Amino acid sequence: MKVRQQLNVGVLGVCLLLVLALSNVSAQSATLQPTVTLPDFSQLAEENSPVVVNISTLKKIKQPTIPPQFRGMPEEMLRYFFGIPNGDGQSPHGQMPREQVSSLGSGFIISEDGYIITNHHVVADADDVIVKLNNRRELKAKVVGSDERSDIALLKIEAEDLPVAKIGSSETLKVGQWVMAIGEPFGLDYTVTHGIVSALGRALPDDTYVPFIQTDVPINPGNSGGPLLNMKGEVVGVNAQIYSRSGGSVGLSFSIPIDIAMDVAEQLKEKGRVVRGFLGVGVQEVSGDLAKSFNMERPMGALVTSTGKNSAAAEAGIEPGDIIVEFDGKTIDRSADLPPVVGASPVNKPLKVKVLRNGHYKVLTVKLKSLDETQLAMDEAEMQSKTLGVVLEEVPSKTLSKLNLPFGVGVAEVKKDSAAHKAGILPGDILVTVNFKPAKSIADLLDIIEAAPKGRSIPVRIVRGNRSVFLPLVLN
Over residues 345-394, the pLDDT tens digits come to 988 999 999 999 988 899 999 999 887 644 554 455 555 677 888 888 88
Look at the chain and report how many structural domains it folds into.
4
- Domain of 314, CATH number, reads 2.30.42.10
Of the two residues 13 and 178, the one the predictor is more confident about is 178
Instruction: Kindly state whether residue 11 falls inside one of the protein's structural domains.
Output: no
pLDDT of 4 > 50? The answer is: no
SS3 315: helix
Q: Is the C-alpha dihedral spanning 152, 376, 319, 409 positive or negative? A: positive
Same domain, 144 and 61: yes
The pLDDT, as a whole number, for residue 408 is: 92
The CA-based dihedral angle spanning residues 23, 27, 30, 33, taken in that order and rounded to the nearest 10 degrees: -120
Catalytic residue ranges: 121, 151, 224
Instruction: Kindly state whether residue 433 falls inside one of the protein's structural domains.
Output: yes
Instruction: Kindly state whether residue 7 falls inside one of the protein's structural domains.
Output: no
Same domain, 211 and 149: no
Q: Is 350 exposed, middle or buried (0-12, 13-18, 19+ CB in 10 A)?
A: exposed
Instruction: Kindly state whether residue 176 falls inside one of the protein's structural domains.
Output: yes
Mean pLDDT in residue range 205-230: 86
Mean pLDDT in residue range 404-413: 90
Instruction: Kindly state whether residue 248 falls inside one of the protein's structural domains.
Output: yes
Beta bridge partners of 460: 434, 471
pLDDT of 178 > 60? The answer is: yes
Q: How far apart are CA 373 and CA 63, in angstroms?
A: 32
Amino acid at position 428, single letter? G
Same domain, 404 and 310: no
Over residues 292-335, the pLDDT tens digits come to 888 888 999 999 888 877 889 999 999 988 999 999 999 999 88
Same domain, 178 and 89: no
* H or E segment to which residue 103 belongs: strand 99-109
The pLDDT, as a whole number, for residue 117 is: 96
Same domain, 141 and 188: no
pLDDT of 239 > 50? The answer is: yes
Q: Which residue segment(s) compose the domain that 434 sits in?
A: 382-474
| pLDDT bracket for residue 12 (50, 70, 90) | low
Residue partners of 72: CB distance under 8 A and separation at least 6: 87
- Domain of 137, CATH number, reads 2.40.10.10
Give the domain-ending residue among 371, 394, 425: 371
| pLDDT bracket for residue 87 (50, 70, 90) | very low
Residue partners of 408: CB distance under 8 A and separation at least 6: 395, 400, 430, 431, 432, 439, 463
Same domain, 129 and 187: no
Same domain, 332 and 366: yes
Instruction: Kindly state whether residue 1 falls inside one of the protein's structural domains.
Output: no
Same domain, 100 and 135: yes
Instruction: Kindly state whether residue 444 falls inside one of the protein's structural domains.
Output: yes
The overall average pLDDT reported for the chain is 82
Check if the beta carbon of residue 323 is closer than 8 Å to that of residue 271.
Answer: no
The pLDDT, as a whole number, for residue 3 is: 42
Same domain, 411 and 452: yes
pLDDT of 101 > 70? The answer is: no
Of the two residues 94 and 249, the one the predictor is more confident about is 249
Of the two residues 111 and 344, the one the predictor is more confident about is 111
Same domain, 55 and 88: yes
Mean pLDDT in residue range 51-78: 69
Instruction: Kindly state whether residue 245 falls inside one of the protein's structural domains.
Output: yes
Same domain, 395 and 457: yes
Give the domain-ending residue among 104, 133, 156: 156
Give the domain-ending residue among 319, 350, 371: 371
Closest listed residue to residue 213, CA positions, set 246, 275, 165, 261: 261
Return the percentage of the chain with pLDDT > 90, whole number. Answer: 38
Same domain, 123 and 219: no
Beta bridge partners of 325: none
Q: How far apart are CA 352 and CA 343, in angstroms?
A: 15
